C-alpha cells in the first residue's frame, strides 16, 4: 500500500516545516511506503527554498515548483499528475485539516471506499464572514447544479487510484475538483472532522479569489443560469402581452388615453436591464468555451525535486 499526499503551498514559509513534521509522523505510523508531494504554487517567500531542504533531508519528500501562481486547484492538479500512490490524499499546507484524520480515511479506503472526504463540522478560527459565505455557497451550488456536492466539504480527502485516473482524463480548464470528484461517482464516504485555525500566516484566498472560485464552481457544473434566461424571457414576454392588450383597449375603446411615457419608460428600462444581465451570463459561458478551446496546458513546471523519472505534464 503506497500512499501519496499532495500539499499545495502558496507562501507558506511559516508553516511548512511543522506541517511536514506532523504529516510524516502520522503517515509513518500507517505505512512505511509513502511520498509527500509539495506543490509550490509560485510563492514569493522562502517556501521553495524550504522545500528544497526538506527534499534533501528526506527522499520521501518530493516537490514540484510551478512557474507562477496558477491557483490552488491547478496546484492540486499538478500534484495528482505526479502522484504514484495507490491512494492519494489532498491536504492544505496550513494544518487547518488535522493530519490525524488521514488515519480514518485510510481505514475507510481499506474497507473498500474509493473516496473518503472530510466534512467540516466546526470551523474555529475563521471569520464569521468566511463561514457564512462558505455556507451560502455550498447551498447555492447544490440548488443550481446538476451534480450534488456534499455540504461543507473542502479538498481534504483521500482518493483511490481509480478515481485519480478518472480525474486525469477530465481536461477542463475551470477546475472545481470537489465537484469533479462528486461527478465521477464510485463509492464515497464522509468523514466528519473539526477544522482548526491556521497554524500561522494568513488565508491565501482573498475575497476576489473566493468569488472566482465560487463562479467556477457554479458555472462549470450548471446550466441553470443559462436556463434562467429562457424563463425570464417567457415571463417578461407574458407581462408585455398584458401591457399591449391593456394599451390597445385604452386606445381603441376609451377616450382616456394619454401619452403614457411612464409605462414606456419603465418597460424600456426593465427589458434593457434584463437583456444586459443575460447577455452577461451568456458572455461568461462563451468566455469559458473560448478558454477551453485554446487547449493551453493547465500549469507549467519550473522544477521537479526528488522525482527520478521524467513525467510529462498535462
Nearer to ligand UDP, 199 or 226 (CB): 199
At 204, list the grid cell: 491565501
Q: Which DSSP symbol is given to 198?
A: P
Q: Please give the Cα distance from 197 to 192 (Å, whole number).
A: 16
33 touches 40 (CB < 8 A)? no
288 touches 174 (CB < 8 A)? yes
Report the residue from 13, 14, 35, 94 that binds Mg ion according to the rule CB under 5 A: 94
216 binds, among ligand UDP, Mg ion, none (CB under 5 to 8 A by kind): none
Q: How far apart are CB 295 and ligand UDP at their closest, in Å?
A: 23
Q: Please give the Cα distance from 155 to 179 (Å, whole number).
A: 10
Within positions 51 to 110, which residues make up the interface with ligand UDP, using CB under 6 A? 69, 71-72, 75, 92-94, 96
* CA-to-CA separations, 82 to 122, 158, 165, 229, 256, in angstroms, rounded: 32, 16, 11, 42, 77
Q: How buried is 110 (Cβ within 10 angstroms: 0-12 exposed, 13-18 middle, 19+ buried)?
A: exposed
Report the residue from 3, 12, 77, 181 that binds ligand UDP according to the rule CB under 6 A: 12
- In the three-class reduction of DSSP (H, G, I as helix; E, B as strand; rest coil), residue 200 is classed as coil
C-alpha 74: how far from chain center: 10
Nearer to ligand UDP, 42 or 225 (CB): 42
Nearer to Mg ion, 40 or 92 (CB): 92
Q: How far apart are CB 140 and ligand UDP at their closest, in Å?
A: 17
155: contact with Mg ion by CB under 5 A? no
Nearer to ligand UDP, 75 or 214 (CB): 75
**Window contacting ligand UDP (CB under 6 A); options: 8-16, 159-167, 168-176, 212-220:** 8-16
Residue 227: count other Cβ atoms within 10 Å of its Cβ.
11
Q: How far apart are CB 214 and ligand UDP at their closest, in Å?
A: 12
10: contact with ligand UDP by CB under 6 A? yes
14: contact with Mg ion by CB under 5 A? no
Nearer to ligand UDP, 61 or 75 (CB): 75
**Window contacting ligand UDP (CB under 6 A); options: 103-111, 180-188, 202-210, 305-313:** 202-210
Report the residue from 19, 47, 73, 96 that binds Mg ion according to the rule CB under 5 A: 96
Residues in CB range of 257: below 8 A, 6 or more apart:
250, 251
DSSP E strands in the chain: the ranges are 3-9, 34-40, 61-66, 87-90, 115-123, 153-160, 188-195, 301-305
Interacting residues with Mg ion (CB under 5 A): 92, 94, 96
List interacting residues with ligand UDP (CB under 6 A).
8-10, 12, 41, 69, 71-72, 75, 92-94, 96, 203-205
Amino acid at each position: 500500500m503506497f500512499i501519496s499526499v499532495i500539499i499545495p503551498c502558496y507562501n507558506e514559509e511559516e508553516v511548512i516545516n511543522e506541517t511536514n513534521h506532523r504529516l510524516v509522523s502520522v503517515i509513518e505510523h500507517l505505512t512505511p511506503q509513502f511520498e509527500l508531494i509539495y506543490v509550490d504554487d509560485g510563492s514569493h517567500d522562502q517556501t521553495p527554498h524550504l522545500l528544497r531542504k526538506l527534499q534533501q533531508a528526506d527522499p520521501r519528500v518530493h516537490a514540484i515548483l510551478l512557474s507562477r501562481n496558477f491557483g490552488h486547484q491547478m496546484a492540486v492538479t499538478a500534484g495528482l499528475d505526479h502522484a504514484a500512490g495507490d491512494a492519494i490524499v489532498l491536504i492544505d499546507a496550513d494544518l487547518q485539516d488535522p493530519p490525524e484524520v488521514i488515519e480514518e480515511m485510510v481505514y475507510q479506503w481499506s474497507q473498500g471506499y474509493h473516496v473518503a472526504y472530510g466534512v467540516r463540522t466546526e470551523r474555529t478560527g475563521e471569520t464569521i464572514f468566511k463561514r457564512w459565505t462558505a455556507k451560502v455557497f455550498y447551498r447555492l451550488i447544490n440548488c443550481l447544479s446538476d451534480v450534488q456536492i456534499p455540504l461543507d466539504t473542502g479538498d481534504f480527502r483521500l482518493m483511490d487510484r481509480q478515481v485519480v485516473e478518472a480525474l486525469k482524463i477530465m481536461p477542463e480548464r475551470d477546475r472545481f475538483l470537489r465537484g469533479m470528484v462528486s461527478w465521477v461517482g464510485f463509492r464515497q464516504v464522509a468523514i466528519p472532522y473539526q477544522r482548526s485555525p491556521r497554524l500561522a500566516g494568513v488565508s491565501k484566498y482573498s475575497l476576489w479569489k473566493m468569488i472566482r472560485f465560487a463562479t467556477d464552481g457554479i458555472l462549470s457544473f450548471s446550466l441553470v443560469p443559462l436556463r434562467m434566461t429562457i424563463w425570464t424571457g417567457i415571463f417578461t414576454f407574458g407581462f408585455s402581452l398584458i401591457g399591449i392588450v391593456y394599451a390597445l383597449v385604452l386606445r381603441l375603446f376609451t377616450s382616456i388615453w394619454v401619452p403614457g411615457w411612464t409605462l414606456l419608460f419603465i418597460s424600456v428600462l426593465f427589458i434593457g436591464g434584463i437583456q444586459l444581465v443575460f447577455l452577461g451570463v451568456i458572455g461568461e459561458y462563451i468566455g469559458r468555451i473560448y478558454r477551453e478551446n485554446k487547449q493551453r496546458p493547465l500549469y507549467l513546471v519550473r522544477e521537479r525535486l526528488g522525482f527520478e523519472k521524467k513525467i510529462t505534464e498535462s
